[in-house]
Amino acid sequence: MEEVRKAMAEIFSHLQKTQEELERDQVEAFLQSLIQAKRVFVLGAGRSGLVGKAFAMRLMHLGINVYVVGETITPAIRSEDAVVAISGSGETDLVVGAASIAKKAGAKIAVVTSFPDSRLGRMGDVVIVLPGRAKTETISEYVERELAGEHASLAPLGTLFEISCMVFLDGVISALMSKLNKQEKDLKERHANVE
């Protein structure tokens, strides 16, 4: 029980620090990229991909035309679209490669990462920085540690980034509800009724 409480306390503390460090201009630009896009494509791998799918579901509930990159029903990306690319390291080959293709197609790239100077971060038109475990480590140290399965934290691997990302994106949904004048009842109308 004590380990669970300690891990939760570490996560809560990290979330508090993360929300205090968010840059207002970048968050507003992120929101505008979603509102102005004809369609939104969400991109991520592993647990970041699962966070992305949860975000895509809420965008759909808001009535936004949204797709998850890699699903069989995902259409071609065009210049009037936006891509939300999620990667803690900003170096995940699958995410970087797909974002690069979308960028060449003229789509706006909105990146969520811990490393703005990563390949993905440098590609972004909008970059939201959500720190992972240690802001001082280098990208290569982060990637090497993640691949080796090493962790010094009570929240292993990319947990702090992924949880921060999930909470941030849920905050984005709340802001979009306000900007688009949507209520919870509007979202419920689009909630799955065949499960």
What residues are labeled active site?
162
SS3 120: helix
Q: How much of the chain is helix, strand and coil, in % rounded to 5?
A: 55, 10, 35
Other beta carbons within 10 Å of 35: 13
State the pairing for strand pair 126-129/108-113: parallel
- Under DSSP, the state recorded for 67 is E
Of 99, 162, 95, nearest to 125 by C-alpha is 99
